[in-house]
Amino acid sequence: MLFRGVRKIIGNTNNVSEYMPTLKDIRIRLKGIKSTQQVTKAMKMVAAAKLRRAQDRAIQARPYAGKLKEMLASLSTKVDTSLNPLLSPREEVKKVLVILVTSDRGLCGGFNANIIKMAQRVIHEDYAALHAKGDVTMICAGTKGTEFFRKRGYNLTAAYPAVFQNLSFDSAREIADTASKMYLSGEVDRVLLVYNEFKSVLSPNLRTEQLLPIAPEESAEKGASSEYLYEPSPAAIIDELVPKHLHTQMWRVMLESNAAEQAARMGAMDSATENAKELIRLLNISYNRARQAAITKELSEIVAGADALKQ
């Protein structure tokens, strides 16, 4: 994007004679690029500061969410899972709910575009038949995803734009409760999470997970190695843990997405700063060539005038 505008000013650097901009044009362009570079550098620093806090919160949430899932896996081996509808898978999946987590703002590279493409792939490939019948609904957390799918006529059950402006556990709990009510009422038979998991500054991890029905068998081996004493009873405790598990998992997902967003923004602003640096270098070359051409032209005119006076 930054390179696009400079070609109008400097033209082809390999053949400058095709178009020689004036010195004033280049100075104006240089001033604009330098201002842009200052902005992108400042945004990179802000994103780096936010990333540190977001990363700490995401990492701190992982052990609690993991241990809660492990306990639920252990409990599920001791009770009849059919007693809790949130643990009981449906015989046939006729309706699906996709919870998509994006950011509220742009300027973060391909962060939103990649996760939106993944959500579309899940809807149009994994559940194409259900989508064709209008049986795939969505909950969008984040402005970018909400705007994208709302404009294209997707079935949005609920939307939470600007949720990351003031990220709180209450927002995660509200989204999880909405999904739980839809599952319990039979409006949907499966709930999926699509989000960016924070892996590292350089590479976020696109994730699709099943939120409902809860599938503790995925971590049953891990949970089987731990033995617990339950009071009052496994069934009573599991009824208490299931809502907490859903709230915690949704909160973890939003923290992961927030950290991945800040990492993506920091990388995008770093690339923009480097692009601006390269543009400034090219414009300086063009400026020096234009200045040299102007001086040569003036010298030629002086020599020609002197020859004319002699004649």
Extract the tokens encoding 92: 């046939």
- The residue type found at 140 is C
Residue reference for tokens 């939120």:
211
CB count in 10 Å sphere of residue 301: 10
Closest CA to 124 of 100, 154, 150: 154
β-bridge mates for residue 139, sequence order: 99, 158
Q: Give the burial string for 2-20 (b: 16+ CB within 10 Å, else e).
A: beeebeebbbeeeebeeee
Q: How far is CA 300 from CA 20, 64, 262, 292, in A?
A: 18, 79, 56, 12
List strand residue ranges (DSSP E) for the chain, in order.
Answer: 96-101, 136-141, 156-160, 190-197, 205-212
Q: What burial letters (b/e) apply to 87-116, b meaning 16+ CB within 10 Å?
A: bebeeeeebbbbbbbbbbeeebbebbeebb
Whether 158 and 141 have beta carbons less than 8 Å apart is answered as: no
Amino acid in the structure at residue 97: L
Catalytic residue among 30, 51, 75, 108: 108
Task: Give helix then strand counts, H and E, for the chain.
Answer: 8, 5
User: What is the DSSP-derived secondary structure letter of residue 113?
Assistant: H
Question: Is 108 assigned a catalytic role?
Answer: yes
Catalytic (active-site) positions: 108
